[in-house]
Structure 1
Amino acid sequence: MAAADVERLIRQLAKLPGLGPRSARRVALHMIQQKETVMRPLAEALAETAESVGVCSQCGNIDTTDPCEICTDPRRDVTSICVVEQVGDLWALERASAFRGRYHVLGGVLSALDGITPEDLNIENLIPRAASGAVSEIILATNATVDGQTTAHYLTERLEGCNVAITRLARGVPVGGELDYLDDGTLITALASRKEL
């Protein structure tokens, strides 16, 4: 039986994606055995990140500055906004170097089963960005799931009248697939062959 502090560590680790109780126990043991080289640096990094990282008020990305580095980068194309579900999707597109515009992170998708409504998502900030006159294209890069498709359809209706082209990622993103798990080639192909809705 582990001490209370160790059990608490295991419970916290088990909350991470991909770690169940058994994996969390192994990670905790490794961290404790490597206290100086793994555990202490990790604890410092976690504490510093918790203090320094926040959500960008313009796009919903996470960064140490607000607005984020992408929103303030003068080399980015201000005429196109790529709408993604989560920050992980933004990171996947950035990793592929397939898109050089700006982003908008919804923070999820519409889901009747989970009770997620438009008010729960970062949609209201998107409409004025799209209608600003500087934007000519909105790329809907929601996942190819039922909820992702539903969200894209809802956004298409909300963006009517903003005088922007609304495009969707093309084939290459498999139905049921999620952007964060796709390879760079698939992401590049999908962005290159997008079509107007």
Structure 2
Amino acid sequence: MFSPRFEQLVQALRTLPSVGPKSAQRMALHLVMKNREGAFQLAHALHEAATYIQSCHVCHSLSEDEICEICASPRRDDTVLCVVESPADVMAIEQSAGFNGKYYVLGGHLSPLDGIGPEEIGIPALIQRLKQGQVQEVILATNATIEGQATAHYILEACKTLPVSMTRIAQGVPQGGELEYVDSHTLSQALHHRMQLK
């Protein structure tokens, strides 16, 4: 039987997504036996992140300040707002370097069975922001899951009367993809959302 502190470390590591008991035990053994310096660095980084990282008061993404760098930047386009489900989506879009607008992070998607309605993911606050009149286009970039699609549809319906252009990110065949390897749902979406060339 390992020490109580070791078991406590294993249980703490199990709070991470997709980490089961065996993976947590291997990580704990590695940190304690082979990489004590790394363990101290990890503990320090976790403490700093948990202490200082918060939600941006404007877009709800992650920030060390009340307003994140993207929301505070005068170089970003205030008239285009990209609605995403999580800060991870913001990171992915930013890495693509193809977007210069601002964001609104819902913090999830609609899931009535789990008790997650419009209020829980901040849709009323999003609508209030759109009513201010600065945003001219909303890009719905929720995930291509059933819940993500339902969330996008709900936002679209809720914004029907607002003078805002609503767009949805394209879905379908990935760049460089071969049709024979693309799943049927993705191919169906690609055909449905095909682009006019002439």
TM-score bin, normalised by smaller chain: 0.7 to 0.9
Q: TM-score, normalised by structure 2?
A: 0.84
What is the identity, as a one-letter code, of the residue corresponding to 1:152? A
Is 1:104 aligned to residue 143 of structure 2? no
1:114-166: per-residue Cα shift (whole Å, max 9, x none)?
22111211212211221222111000001111111111111011112221100
What is the identity, as a one-letter code, of the residue corresponding to 2:77? D
Measure, in 2, the Cα distance between the counterparts of 1:57 and 1:75: 19
Paired residue for 1:74? Answer: 74
Measure, in 2, the Cα distance between the counterparts of 1:116 and 1:129: 21
Paired residue for 1:22? Answer: 22
Number of aligned residue pairs: give it: 178
In structure 2, relative to structure 1, the CA distance for the partners of 1:37 and 1:194 (3 Å cut) is farther
Measure, in 2, the Cα distance between the counterparts of 1:31 and 1:140: 42
In structure 2, relative to structure 1, the CA distance for the partners of 1:194 and 1:21 (3 Å cut) is farther
Query: Considering only aligned residues, what root-mean-square deviation do their CA atoms show, in Å?
Result: 2.0
Is 1:49 aligned to residue 27 of structure 2? no
In structure 2, relative to structure 1, the CA distance for the partners of 1:158 and 1:173 (3 Å cut) is farther
1:51-97: per-residue Cα shift (whole Å, max 9, x none)?
11100111110110111111001111111000001111111111111
Paired residue for 2:123? Answer: 123
The higher relative CO (CA closer than 8 Å, separation ≥ 6) is in 1
Measure, in 2, the Cα distance between the counterparts of 1:87 and 1:122: 14
What fraction of aligned residue pairs are identical, expressed as a percent?
Answer: 47
User: 1:83·1:103 contact (CA, 8 Å) conserved in 2?
Assistant: yes
Is 1:32 aligned to residue 42 of structure 2? no
Moved over 3 A (4+): none
In structure 2, relative to structure 1, the CA distance for the partners of 1:35 and 1:96 (3 Å cut) is same
Measure, in 1, the Cα distance between the counterparts of 2:88 and 2:149: 18
Paired residue for 2:186? Answer: none
User: 1:111·1:117 contact (CA, 8 Å) conserved in 2?
Assistant: yes
Measure, in 2, the Cα distance between the counterparts of 1:95 and 1:173: 20
Offset at residue 3 of structure 1 (A): 0.8
What is the identity, as a one-letter code, of the residue corresponding to 1:126? L
Is 1:58 aligned to residue 24 of structure 2? no
Paired residue for 2:187? Answer: none
Paired residue for 2:151? Answer: 151
Instruction: Name which of structure 1's ranges 111-120 and 71-80 shifts more when overlaid on structure 2.
Output: 111-120
User: 1:79·1:134 contact (CA, 8 Å) conserved in 2?
Assistant: yes
User: 1:106·1:123 contact (CA, 8 Å) conserved in 2?
Assistant: yes
Measure, in 2, the Cα distance between the counterparts of 1:116 and 1:145: 16
Paired residue for 2:179? Answer: none
Structure 1, unpaired ranges of 5+: 175-189
